Amino acid sequence: MTGADVKKIRADLGLTCVELASVLGVHPSTVFRWEASSAALALDPSSTRLLSIAAFGLVSKDGRQWGEQIKGALVLKGSAYALYILLRGVYGEGVEPSVTGKS
């Protein structure tokens, strides 16, 4: 994966570098550095996996609409819920988690 790939995934989702960083659990400067790189990136396995999941999901979804759902989740419930939305978008709807933590 290259910096251009990361930038395209982020742009297709309509997320800022800060928003993508929050979903991936990295510092925003890390996303800026990735996007500026022209060489193949040596990403940590979890970031590689999540970006690959996002790229796969974009093929079958309206990326902007999906990005808006992720943004809304970031604002309303934080990065863990935004990550859940990202994964749910690829793997299927499933059951909504409880906001209170109770089943």
Residue type present at position 29: S
The length of the chain is 103
Encode the chain (103 residues) as per-residue pLDDT tens digits: 888 988 988 888 788 899 888 888 889 999 999 999 888 888 877 777 777 767 766 655 566 676 777 777 777 777 777 777 777 766 666 545 444 444 4
What is d(CA 15, CA 64) in angstroms, rounded to the nearest whole number? 9
Residue 101 covered by a domain = no
- Collapsing DSSP to helix, strand or coil, 87 comes out as helix
User: Do residues 11 and 66 touch, judged by C-beta distance below 8 A?
Assistant: no
100 belongs to a structural domain: no
* 102 lies in some domain: no
Range(s) of the domain holding residue 71: 3-91
Domain count, the chain: 1
Report if residue 80 sits inside a domain. yes
Is the residue at 84 inside a domain? yes
Whether 50 maps to a domain, the answer reads: yes
In a domain, residue 79? The reply is: yes
Distances (CA, A) of 15 to 23, 31, 43, 98: 10, 12, 19, 25
Determine, yes or no, domain membership for 98: no
